[in-house]
Amino acid sequence: MATEAKPAAPTEDPVKLAEFEARCDRGETIEPKDWMPEKYRRQLTRMMSQHAHSEVVGMLPEGNWITRAPNLRRKMCLIAKVQDEGGHGLYIYCGTETLGTDRAELIDQYLYGTAKYSSIFNYPTLTWADIGVIGWLVDGAAIVNQTMLAHASYGPYARAMIRICKEENFHKRQGYELCATLARGTPAQKAMVQDAVNRWWWPSLMMFGPHDTNSPHSADLLRWKVKQKSNDDLRQRFVNLTVPQAQAIGLTLPDPDLKLDQATGDWKFGEIDWSEFNAVIAGNGPMNRERIAARRKAHEEGAWVREAAAAYAAKHQPAAGQAA
C-alpha cells in the first residue's frame, strides 16, 4: 500500500464528521470499514503501532536475564512472559493493519524511520531484581493504561487490549512475587531490590506521558474516545495502587514528597524530571541505540527465514500466495 500522505489539516465532510463524532459520543465501536476522519486513522495508526513496537522492544530488557535466571521456575516464568510480550506486539500490529498500513511498513518505520516506542524500554536491566521490578511497576503501569484502552472506540484496538489485559496480570504478579521474595531475603537481596525500585520508579511514572496540558495528541484522542482518561489521571491511579503494594513488602519509593492527601485519598507525588523524559524520547536515553541496533540485527538476520518460507510456499502451494 502507498505511503500515507500527511496533509496538514485534512478537510473532512462536515456532515460525516458530525455523524462520526456522535457515534463516538454514544460509545459506539468504530470498525475498520466504517467511515472515519483521516486524522483519527492517522492518530490511531501512530498510537497503535507505537504500542506494538513497545511490546516487541520490551522483550529485550527482560530477555537479557533469561539465561541468568536463578532457578528453573523463574526461568520458565520469564520465558513465558517475554513470549507473551511478542504476542502482544502481534495482536496490536494485526489491529493496526486494519487501518490500512501493512505490518511490513509499520516495522520499517520503526526500524529505519522515525516511529517511536515507550521511553521505559530505553533503561538497562542491571540486576536480577530489575526483572521483578519491571513486572511489578512497568507491567503494573501498562495494566492501568491498557484497562482504559480496552474501552477504546476503535474495535480492533479494544479487542486486542482485552486479550492483553487477561495476560498482564500474570506479568505483574510474577514480578511482585519476585520483589517480595527478595525484600524478605538477605540484606544484600533487599538492598538489590530497593535499588531497582529506586531506578525504575520515576521512569514508570513517565510511561503515562506528559502532563495533559503538554500532551499534543490528548485532546483528539479523548474527544474521539480512543482514551477515556487523561495521562495525569492514569498516573495518579497507578501511584494510588502501587504505594500500598510497596508498603506491604517493606520497600520505599524514592520520592520525599510522597504523602497521602486525606481529603481526596490520593497519594500526592513530587514533580517528574521532564528533561530526562524528553531526552529519552529524543533518542538519548541510556539504551536507545542498543535497543534499535538489537532489533535491526534480529530483523535482518531473520530475513533469510522469511524469504525461504515464502519461496517454499510459492513452490508447493501456489494458491496460498494469492490470498493477500
Residues within the interface to other proteins (CB under 8 A) = 3, 31, 33-35, 80, 83-84, 87, 90-91, 94-95, 97, 102-105, 107-108, 112, 159-160, 163, 167, 306-307, 309-310, 312-314, 316-317, 320-324
* Residue closer to Fe ion (CB basis): 175 or 285: 175
Q: Is the Cβ of residue 101 or residue 146 nearer to Fe ion in the bound state?
A: 146
Nearer to other proteins, 250 or 321 (CB): 321
The dihedral over CA atoms of 247, 248, 250, 254, expressed in degrees to the nearest 10, equals: -30
Which residues sit opposite 262 in a β-bridge?
Answer: none
Residue 84: Cβ within 10 Å count: 18
When binding is defined by CB under 5 A, the residue of 42, 53, 88, 225 that contacts Fe ion is: 88
All three cell numbers of 67:
539465561
SS (H, E, C) 26-60: CCCCECCCCCCCHHHHHHHHHHHHHHHHHHHHCHH
Residues 157-186: x/- map of binding to Fe ion (CB under 5 A)?
A: -----------x--x---------------
CB of 6 to other proteins, least distance (A): 15
Among residues 41 and 173, whose Cβ is nearest to Fe ion? 173
Q: Where are the alpha helices (DSSP H) in 11-154?
A: 14-25, 38-57, 59-63, 72-97, 103-112, 129-133, 139-149
d(CA 117, CA 306) in angstroms, rounded, equals: 24
Residue 103 interacting entry, from Fe ion, other proteins, none, C-beta within 5 to 8 Å by type: other proteins
Q: How far is the CB of 204 from other proteins (least distance, A)?
A: 26
Closest to other proteins by CB, 1 or 9: 1
Reported as half-sphere exposure (CB side, CA atoms, 13 A), residue 69 has a value of: 18
DSSP 8-state symbol, 118: -
Nearer to other proteins, 57 or 183 (CB): 57
130 binds Fe ion (CB under 5 A): no
Write out the three cell numbers for 81: 512472559
Question: Residue 48's binding partner, choosing from other proteins, Fe ion, none, with beta-carbon cut-off 5 to 8 A by kind?
Answer: none
What residues make contact with Fe ion under the rule CB under 5 A? Answer: 55, 85, 88, 139, 168, 171
